[in-house]
Amino acid sequence: MPNGPKSKKTKRIFVFLRFAVVVCGIIWAIFWVSREVGWDNLAKTLLRIDLGVFAGVLGIFVIGQIIVGLRWWLLLRSQSIFIDFWAAVRLHFLGLFYNNFMPSSVGGDLIRAWYVTKHTDRRFEAALSVFVDRAIGLLSTLVIAAFFYSLFLRGKGSVITSGGGGKGGMPKSVAEYKWILLWLVVVVAAVFCVLLLHRRGRAILEKAWSHICVYGVKMIKKLRDAIIIYCSKPLTILGVFGLTVFLQIMVITGFWFLGVNLGIEASIKYYYVFFTLTWVLGAVPVSIGGAVVVEGSLAYLFIQFAGVGAEAALALALCQRIVWMLASLPGAVIHLIGAHLPKDFFIDYEKSIT
């Protein structure tokens, strides 16, 4: 196809920009921890974690991912796409590994859609199920955040408690080092202006904008098709939605136990709001696997609104990332031993592949 190389080049540009966001975020985090928290304080906080509690949280998260595989399997069966339950779970873990470890434009959802569509003649419905699965996950996350926010936190401002906020907290550091943020804005604006003035730069911006528009139109079409197809299965959608809410509350409760072990005295209601909000932010493709965005926003919310010490809030955010990455490792094993390959699937009408 003539547009193939251009499309690949545009994707590489977006991957580079997302990688740049992660690198800049890590540099900022190192600077902030060095000045405001202290590496010794952060290390002491992390060393306080009971390994049994951490293992329990990891186990809860893994069980949650198996439930996500069940959710997708139910969506597939609602469209008469019959694959083995554990095959769906294996594909989900493979996608999870790609999301958390592979810095490329090939996401976990695309991996799942690719392998499912190769083993059924209902390819459109199979690919669409991946999109619907992700949409239901995000929608349920927003519902949980909105529900607990309106129930417990609406109308409340920042919470300042004795001992909270560490050595000044993130809000203070943002104000103290606002000149750094100003320079970052100036640099970004200067780069944008240079691109506009340069012929090749304008071409890059045009391609980027074109890619955004095309991607947006595709998403709107997928959403429209999903609504049309799945409106005929309201009970399935309702059941899958309820299953998603259950697994997310289960996982967040597990992180609350970990927070208690870290010495965080904030109520569990903050966890239900803050974790869900940061998960939604992490789904926006501005960094690799939501890295830096999720950790930074989660730590900021706990410091600013729950009065949690900076070192404890950052430790909790880092532990979440570690749990995600450890839980993704089965996906690497699945890929290496070929457990994701077609021979492990049962396709429509329960005919096995030979």
Mean pLDDT in order along the chain per 10 residues (354 residues): 56 76 87 87 92 96 95 86 87 89 69 74 76 84 84 58 42 52 70 71 73 73 70 82 92 96 92 92 81 92 90 94 95 84 48 39
Domain hosting residue 160, numbered range: 16-168+233-352
Amino acid occupying residue 9: K
pLDDT given for residue 154 in this prediction = 65
Is residue 141 in some structural domain? yes
Number of H helices, E strands in the chain: 13, 2
Helix, strand or coil for residue 3?
A: coil
DSSP 343: G
Burial 168-206 (b: 16+ CB within 10 A, else e): ebbeebeeebeeeeeeeeeeeeeeeeebeeeeeeeeeee
Q: CA 326: distance to chain centroid?
A: 15
**CB contact at 8 A, 222 and 128:** yes
Residue 154 belongs to a domain: yes
- pLDDT of res. 179: 60
- Tell me if 218 is assigned to some domain: no
| pTM exceeds cut of 0.85 | no
pLDDT for 343 equals 57
Asked, for residue 263, whether it belongs to a domain, the answer is yes
Domain count, the chain: 1
Q: Which of 128, 82, 84, 122 is nearest to 109 (CA)?
A: 128
Count Cα atoms within 13 angstroms, Cβ side, for 133. Answer: 28
CA distance between the termini of the chain: 33
Measured CA distances, 332 to 99, 198, 252, 336, 340 (Å): 12, 43, 25, 6, 10
In a domain, 65, yes or no: yes
Token pair 């929608």 is found at 139
280 within 8 A of 145, measured Cβ to Cβ: yes
Tell me how far apart the alpha carbons of residues 220 and 188 are, in angstroms, rounded to a whole number. 30
- Rounded CA-CA distance 297/292 in Å is 8
Q: Domain for residue 201, yes or no?
A: no
CA dist 354 and 347 (Å) reads 11
Tokens of 25: 């975020």
Give the number of other Cβ atoms within 10 Å of residue 10's Cβ: 19
Q: According to the 3-state scheme, what is the secondary structure of 106-141?
A: CCHHHHHHHHHHCCCCCHHHHHHHHHHHHHHHHHHH
- Residue 110 domain flag: yes
Give CA–CA dist 351/354, Å, rounded: 9
C-alpha to C-alpha distance for 58 and 323, rounded to whole angstroms: 6
* pLDDT, position 10: 63
pLDDT number for residue 5: 59
DSSP string, 196-260: HHSHHHHHHHHHHHHHHHHHHHHHHHHHHHHHHHHTT-HHHHHHHHHHHHHHHHHHHHHHHHHHH
Structure tokens at 36: 């405001």
Asked whether 15 and 104 are in contact (CB, 8 A), the reply is yes
Q: Which of 129, 95, 171, 143 is nearest to 327 (CA)?
A: 95
CA angle 267, 271, 274 (to 5 degrees): 130
Task: Give dist(CA 244, CA 63) in Å, integer.
Answer: 12
Task: Enter the tokens of residue 292.
Answer: 């830096």
* 49 vs 177: CA distance, rounded Å: 31
- 23 within domain boundaries: yes
